Amino acid sequence: MKTGAPTIELAIRRFELSCGATLLVSPRAGAPVFALHTHVRGGHSLDPKGREGLAYLAGALADQGTKKHGEEEIAELLEPAAGSLSGDASGISGHIAGRDWRLLCDLACELLIEADYPEVQFRRQRERLLERLLVERDDPRVRGEQLFRRLVYGDHFLGRSSYGTLESIRRIRRREVLDFQREHWVGERTILAVCGDVEPEEVRALFEKRLERWTRGTPFTPTEARFPERGVRTDVFRAERQQVHVYLGHLGVARADPDYVPLVVMDHVLGTGPGFTNRISMKLRDELGLAYTVNAAIHASAGILPGTFCAYIGTSPKHVTTAIRGFMAEMKRIREEKVGDEELATAKSYLIGSFALGFQRASRRAGFLISMERHKLPTDVLERLPREYAAVTPDDVRRVARKHLHPDACVVAASGAIDPKQLARAVTPE
């Protein structure tokens, strides 16, 4: 199969800065927008017990003020150049008009090494997060997803929200956020990635100068990952709503899994695309009329650690059993039967044809540089992926489905007007 896909040119220069950080620069002549992403290894895996959300606050509140600039000053500097900076548990990111790339980099370096978390701003932003958590406490879809992750991951940090709970956020004080950032946001744990109309050496010189005083620190050492064994488990969040949110699945794969490419193709046949031509959409949405929103995937959440295979549907209480058994039936079918040539060609054509479109934006490219570094992907991965998608066969799809899909060992979380006994009966084989 010829791919016919446009070639994606992603030039990359890699530098090791004296502070220990890795800098990745992707020059793109004529690009009107400059994008920057930073990734600080560890994220919310470093949250102390009872202080869940600490890493998130360190990133999300970093733009509230530094030793040099207050929150309003930062906004006033960025606004004329249509720039923005924001953060989360993994670091900060932003974009700006290409000509003003130095301003964005200067401010990003300030946030990395001099964020001050002024008390007034800290309290205000913490209250906003608490308001969000109050709303989500009663949101059936959010609660259903949280239950699902807990069923899959147990007590592992992947089973917890990265932005904490009402109880943990209320406990956190400004001093703890400041100490966390000073301890964990260090050069040895940081990847910086930029994309825009720049000269790589100029970018390197700027970051080298701005970060020369940054604490080098020590590399991040992850703890051993332990997860519950796969098996049938269910849980329910009761809410009197017309719709029940159902999450079904199990522990998935890491991005480094050698079966990742055929699993992407399998997902597009089974539950993620293209359009509504995937099997789960056609069966549960079009044929049975159970819902408008329905999907399933195993590749989408694959990271350094295993993600999940997750199938989701929002449906009426009376259709929950039909939906769950429909998911399981399609999982079993793709394991047992070879995918037809035409069906497979449709999925691969969509994947290959849309592939380049995802890399038009500078922000997407900068983010991908981070992924390449974290997952140790080859520098020509963007050239290779379309060819690898095209080479996937019906035998490949069935092989990876048999290996990685476990319809008889799924957890199911449901949120809405459903009884726990009803859910338990729904996952019991007929």
Task: Give me the domain span that covers residue 99.
Answer: 13-210
Say whether both 323 and 406 belong to one domain. yes
Residue 223 belongs to some domain of the structure: no
Residue 5 belongs to some domain of the structure: no
Residue 253 belongs to some domain of the structure: yes
* pLDDT tens digit sequence for 19-54: 999 999 999 999 999 999 999 999 999 999 999 999
Tell whether the model's pLDDT for residue 275 goes beyond 70.
no
For the chain, the average pLDDT equals: 94
Q: Using N-to-C axis directions, what is the helix angle for 260-270 and 341-355, rounded to 10°?
A: 110
Residue with tokens 């031509």: 277
Say whether both 305 and 177 belong to one domain. no
Residue 205 belongs to some domain of the structure: yes
Instruction: State the Rg of the chain over Cα.
Output: 23
Residue 216 belongs to some domain of the structure: no
Burial of 131 (0-12, 13-18, 19+ CB in 10 A): exposed
Say whether both 96 and 202 belong to one domain. yes
**What is the distance between the alpha carbons of residues 376 and 362, in angstroms, rounded to a whole number?**
21
Say whether both 193 and 331 belong to one domain. no
**What is the distance between the alpha carbons of residues 54 and 207, in angstroms, rounded to a whole number?**
27
**What is the distance between the alpha carbons of residues 407 and 314, in angstroms, rounded to a whole number?**
20
Average pLDDT over every residue of 118-134: 96
Tell whether the model's pLDDT for residue 302 goes beyond 60.
yes
What SS3 state is found at 74?
Answer: helix
Tell whether the model's pLDDT for residue 176 goes beyond 90.
yes
**Is the Cβ–Cβ distance between 244 and 314 less than 8 Å?**
yes
> Structurally, how many domains does the chain consist of?
2
Say whether both 168 and 262 belong to one domain. no
User: What confidence score (pLDDT) does residue 198 get?
Assistant: 97
Question: Among the three residues 210, 242, 262, which one is the final residue of a domain in this structure?
Answer: 210
The tally of CA atoms less than 13 A away on the side-chain side of residue 179 is 8
Tell whether the model's pLDDT for residue 1 goes beyond 60.
no
Angle at 387 (CA atoms; ends 382, 389), nearest 5 degrees: 95
Tell whether the model's pLDDT for residue 219 goes beyond 60.
yes
Say whether both 237 and 358 belong to one domain. yes
Question: Among the three residues 158, 176, 210, which one is the final residue of a domain in this structure?
Answer: 210
Q: What is the CATH number of the domain that holds 332?
A: 3.30.830.10
Tell whether the model's pLDDT for residue 108 goes beyond 90.
yes
User: What confidence score (pLDDT) does residue 295 get?
Assistant: 94
* pLDDT tens digit sequence for 359-383: 889 999 999 999 999 999 998 898 8
- How large a percentage of the chain has pLDDT more than 90? 87
Say whether both 105 and 205 belong to one domain. yes
Question: Among the three residues 160, 176, 210, which one is the final residue of a domain in this structure?
Answer: 210
Say whether both 240 and 162 belong to one domain. no
Say whether both 301 and 162 belong to one domain. no
Say whether both 183 and 263 belong to one domain. no
| The overall pTM is greater than 0.75 | yes
**Is the Cβ–Cβ distance between 14 and 378 less than 8 Å?**
no
Tell whether the model's pLDDT for residue 2 goes beyond 70.
no
Residues 6+ positions from 293 with CB-CB distance below 8 Å = 312, 313, 314
Tell whether the model's pLDDT for residue 210 goes beyond 90.
yes
Say whether both 305 and 171 belong to one domain. no
Burial of 221 (0-12, 13-18, 19+ CB in 10 A): exposed
Residue 4 belongs to some domain of the structure: no
CA quadruple 351, 357, 358, 359: dihedral, nearest 10: 130
Tell whether the model's pLDDT for residue 104 goes beyond 70.
yes
Tell whether the model's pLDDT for residue 7 goes beyond 70.
no
User: What confidence score (pLDDT) does residue 430 get?
Assistant: 62
Which two three-digit tokens encode residue 234? 């269910």
Which two three-digit tokens encode residue 254? 């890491």
Burial of 193 (0-12, 13-18, 19+ CB in 10 A): buried
Residue 228 belongs to some domain of the structure: no
**What is the distance between the alpha carbons of residues 335 and 125, in angstroms, rounded to a whole number?**
48
**What is the distance between the alpha carbons of residues 320 and 311, in angstroms, rounded to a whole number?**
13
Tell whether the model's pLDDT for residue 3 goes beyond 60.
no
Segment among 7-11, 271-275, 356-360, 425-429 with least mean pLDDT: 271-275
Say whether both 32 and 179 belong to one domain. yes
Residue 221 belongs to some domain of the structure: no
Burial of 411 (0-12, 13-18, 19+ CB in 10 A): buried
- How large a percentage of the chain has pLDDT more than 70? 97
**What is the distance between the alpha carbons of residues 370 and 362, in angstroms, rounded to a whole number?**
13
